[in-house]
Amino acid sequence: MSENNYLKHEYFYNRELSWISFNYRVLSEAQDNKLPLLDRLRFLAITASNLDEFFMIRVASLKDMVQVNYTKKDIAGMTPGEQLSAISKKTHELVHDQYDVYGKLISKLSDNGIHLISHYEELDDRQERYVNEYFRSEVYPVLTPMAVDSARPFPLIQNKSLNIGAILKFKPSNKKDGNGQFRELYVSHQGKKQGDNISDTDFATVQVPSGLPRFVEIPAKNDGDKCFILLEQIIEKNIDKLFVNYEVLSAFPYRIMRNADLSIDEDEAADLLIEIQRQLKKRQWGQAIRLEVEDGIDKKLLKTLKKELNISEEDIFKINGPLDLTFLSKLAGIEGYDDLKGKGYTPQPAKWIDANKNIFDQIKEHDALLNHPYETFEPVIELVRQASKDPDVLAIKQTLYRVSSHSPIIASLAAAAENGKQVTVLVELKARFDEENNIIWARKLEKAGCHVIYGLVGLKTHSKITLVVRREEDGIRRYVHLGTGNYNDSTAKIYTDMGLLTCKKAIGEDATAFFNMLSGYSEPAAWNKLAVAPIWLRDRFTEMINRETEFAKAGKKAFIKAKMNSLCDPGIIASLYKASAAGVKIDLVIRGICCLKTGIKGISDNITVRSIVGDFLEHSRIFYFHNNGFEEVYMGSADWMPRNLDKRVEILFPVEDETLKEEIIHILDIQFADNVKARVMQSDGTYIIPPRKIGQKKLCAQQYFCKEAIANANEKKHQRSATYNTSFEPLLHIDDEEK
Ligand SMILES: Nc1ncnc2c1ncn2[C@@H]1O[C@H](COP(=O)(O)OP(=O)(O)OP(=O)(O)O)[C@@H](O)[C@H]1O
């Protein structure tokens, strides 16, 4: 059967619904009462920010399709309209479940002495005085109350902003608050008289300032407790002070989400930077696609919002709790309360690289594998830092996608340029939601004398590669770092990513060709080792999958193992189905979206899919092909998604050193053995905790790797000290008591 026979709608899950199922897996972490309370709060916040992004990008894009009457079905056979209906139903359920969890967590927090005021009526006199004073001194000066009437149009409400809408009634001549002369003047200027419809009730809105802390600590009722109130509650309580001469009939918070997708026509944009900056301004005012309001909101207020924001019923979310739960991530970091938090983890010294030694000597001796965040990101920072100072280094080239705000890598690159080295930085400006930040440091690098290039027009450069060219006794040597995650030292502490440090000639030559391709558009005749998207990578993956199919057909052992964030490429999935049908065993760890269905008779019975959601964000992309016993292991920046394979510049690189290869296979195998955080996809698309056989121990892959990294670091320490016995028992299992 050809691949096309595997492209039937019934063989695929819709990607958006699969994503919602992923966010449910994150939510189930927030529901897990074995986890520390504040960690659960953090997971709940993640589900909220994930959902925001989902609406702004995916839902917005489907809305665009519906608007232009695009009715083409997706791979699962759903039109954009059908997808939107299904998404609306599922996200309403998800939000309901989020707030169910929220209620439970808040009540548990309260049991532990951390109280979050849910309505200002709960305040006692002392707290009320505190809140009113806080409003007067900190909040009031920042607010901009905006009245809406026939002469003043509905203001542009910012994307993701939290606002308070109010229905007001004019109170003429209230001596205490002024006598209403200004209002009368205004009314008369409109040619209206007192008592005309404008003076009856008005709508007004005020933005909850995003620059002020979302939650404010106030005196607690009991000694030793902590008590917080949300900023919108403080404003709601004092809203009459914003609208003197009015009676506030009702006031409720609301939040809107707008279409934030940037579809920059890069072919036409003369200057990419200017275009992005222009788009950034525009983003604020995209079409409203979601309105969140408090359950119980005044009907008249809701009607006004609905009309003015031009939003349909299914896009309105009535919420039983505070809007925008992303504030919980900050609350989860509250000082003290260590008993309510996880133990935390400090990335350990890397197994293969000693921070105190010359990094080039070490890479020359042996390729090095880095396993973040279990091992520190320091060797990557150190590579660029030492290169910036090393008199023998001639050039540094690096792709940068998302960096931390005070990136030591940026500082080293700038220092290298100032030290007279050729520094070329390929900056990907279009990393979603990060554009403004990216422009700032790109300019900083340019000022320092780096060649900053902005990638290929129309193709996002998602690869993570660094090349250091060094003059050595026997000639020029190229040192390369290749990774699965961004050069971001902050996220490297919480995202699981892998890296390879090597000075193998073949990879060094490819690295040079890669940068020349990006800066000079010169296409190499052939690559030694790397497979690069968008031209070569899809074919390479397909060939390697098909090769396993052929081995299986020939009655040989055939095995594919892969780990990635998302799998939704129809072509790759069809190749996997074909391979499975031929007898190839395929084990996949897919954290997020997975459009592949397991358990289809004769199609995917040999495929297993599991997802791991844990304290660290699973982010590495690893690929294993049995290759008739000549095992091949690859890592890279690309998921099996059309955007990665066809629209981005991505790199897949092999790990050829036998010891490192074994390490990676071991890393994959531990993830396949996880029976704590893993969830296994069932043939109906649900995910379940893998059942444990009697006597089988619990194994949590992330905890396992933490312990292994600690054990490796200890072993290294012991080796250095002559007084220590060097024998060491590697940790093999997590204790049964462990969560
Ligand atoms: N432990 C966790 N579990 C689940 N989700 C998490 C966790 N930690 C962070 N996140 C969420 O994951 C999001 C980032 O995931 P994503 O796969 O989009 O990463 P990325 O760096 O954008 O990927 P890419 O390499 O494709 O650019 C964050 O915005 C955050 O909301």
136 known member of a binding site: no
Cβ atoms 700, 679 nearer than 8 A: no
Cβ atoms 503, 393 nearer than 8 A: no
CA atoms of 550 and 583, how far apart (whole Å): 10
Q: How far is the CA of 653 from the centre of ligand 1 (A)?
A: 22
Show Cβ contacts of residue 98 under 8 Å, excluding neighbours closer than 6 positions.
27, 44, 47, 48, 51, 325
Please confirm, yes or no, whether 666 is among the known catalytic residues.
Answer: no
CA atoms of 597 and 11, how far apart (whole Å): 6
The whole-number pLDDT of residue 280 equals 54
Q: Is 49 in the pocket of ligand 1 (CB under 6 A)?
A: yes
Which CATH class, in words, describes the domain spanning 359-529? Answer: alpha beta
Helix (H) or strand (E) holding 707: helix 701-720
What is the CATH code for 119-261+290-320? Answer: 3.30.1840.10
Q: Is 26 in the pocket of ligand 1 (CB under 6 A)?
A: yes
How confident is the model over 389-396, as a mean pLDDT?
98
Nearest CA to ligand 1 atom 29: 50
pLDDT digits 0-9 by tens, 322-345: 999 999 999 999 999 999 999 889
CA atoms of 41 and 344, how far apart (whole Å): 15
Instruction: Kindly report the average pLDDT of the chain as a whole number.
Output: 89
3-class SS of residue 497: strand
How confident is the model over 622-646, as a mean pLDDT?
96
495 known member of a binding site: yes
183 known member of a binding site: no
pLDDT digits 0-9 by tens, 642-691: 989 998 999 999 999 999 999 999 999 999 999 999 999 999 999 999 99
Q: How far is the CA of 592 from the centre of ligand 1 (A)?
A: 10
Q: Per 3-state DSSP, what percentage of the chain is helix, strand, and coil (rounded to 5)?
A: 40, 20, 35
Hey, which of 617, 649, 677 would you mutate to test ligand 1's pocket, going by the most ligand atoms within 8 Å of its Cβ?
617
**Token code pair at residue 566:** 């998302």
432 known member of a binding site: yes
The whole-number pLDDT of residue 191 equals 54
Cβ atoms 239, 166 nearer than 8 A: yes
591 known member of a binding site: yes
Cβ atoms 216, 116 nearer than 8 A: no
Cβ atoms 500, 494 nearer than 8 A: no
Nearest CA to ligand 1 atom 23: 619
Helices (H), 149-230: 181-189
Show Cβ contacts of residue 96 under 8 Å, excluding neighbours closer than 6 positions.
320
Q: Is 490 in the pocket of ligand 1 (CB under 6 A)?
A: no
What does the angle CA 466 – CA 468 – CA 473 come to, to the nearest 5 degrees? Answer: 155
Residue recorded with tokens 């002369």: 181
The listed CATH number (1.20.58.310, 3.40.50.12780, 3.30.450.90, 1.20.1090.10) that belongs to domain 3-110: 1.20.58.310
**Token code pair at residue 606:** 């040999």
Q: How far is the CA of 669 from the centre of ligand 1 (A)?
A: 23
Q: How far is the CA of 207 from the centre of ligand 1 (A)?
A: 29
Show Cβ contacts of residue 315 under 8 Å, excluding neighbours closer than 6 positions.
88, 288, 289, 290, 291
3-class SS of residue 437: helix
**Token code pair at residue 37:** 């309370």
Domain boundaries defined on the chain: 3-110, 119-261+290-320, 359-529, 532-691
Helix (H) or strand (E) holding 706: helix 701-720
CA atoms of 635 and 650, how far apart (whole Å): 11
Shortest CA distance to 510 belongs to which of 371, 652, 368? 652
Q: Is 50 in the pocket of ligand 1 (CB under 6 A)?
A: yes
Q: Is 617 in the pocket of ligand 1 (CB under 6 A)?
A: yes
**How many Cα atoms occupy the beta-carbon half-sphere of 670 within 13 Å?**
19
Q: Is 590 in the pocket of ligand 1 (CB under 6 A)?
A: no
**Token code pair at residue 498:** 């892998």
DSSP string across 534-559: TTTHHHHHHHHHHHHHHHHHTT---E
Q: What is the pTM of this model?
A: 0.91
pLDDT digits 0-9 by tens, 714-737: 988 777 654 333 333 333 333 443
Nearest CA to ligand 1 atom 6: 617
Q: Is 84 in the pocket of ligand 1 (CB under 6 A)?
A: no
Helix (H) or strand (E) holding 726: none
- Evaluate if residue 448 carries a pLDDT over 50: yes
Shortest CA distance to 3 belongs to which of 506, 599, 579, 396? 579
Q: Is 407 in the pocket of ligand 1 (CB under 6 A)?
A: no
Could you report how far apart the first and last alpha carbons of the chain are, in Å? Answer: 46
CA atoms of 622 and 632, how far apart (whole Å): 11
Q: How far is the CA of 583 from the centre of ligand 1 (A)?
A: 34
Q: How far is CA 262 from CA 556, 566, 617, 676, in A?
A: 48, 21, 26, 39
The listed CATH number (3.90.1150.10, 3.40.605.10, 3.30.870.10, 3.10.129.10) that belongs to domain 532-691: 3.30.870.10
Helix (H) or strand (E) holding 452: strand 451-453
- Write down how long the chain is: 739
Residue 404 pLDDT level (bands cut at 50, 70, 90): confident
- Say whether 532-691 and 359-529 share the same fold: yes
Show Cβ contacts of residue 581 under 8 Å, excluding neighbours closer than 6 positions.
1, 602, 603, 606
Nearest CA to ligand 1 atom 20: 619
The whole-number pLDDT of residue 499 equals 98
Residue 568: other Cβ atoms inside 10 A: 27
Cβ atoms 603, 11 nearer than 8 A: yes
pLDDT digits 0-9 by tens, 534-578: 999 999 999 999 999 999 999 999 999 999 999 999 999 999 999
Q: Of 92, 366, 406, 462, which is the active-site residue?
A: 462
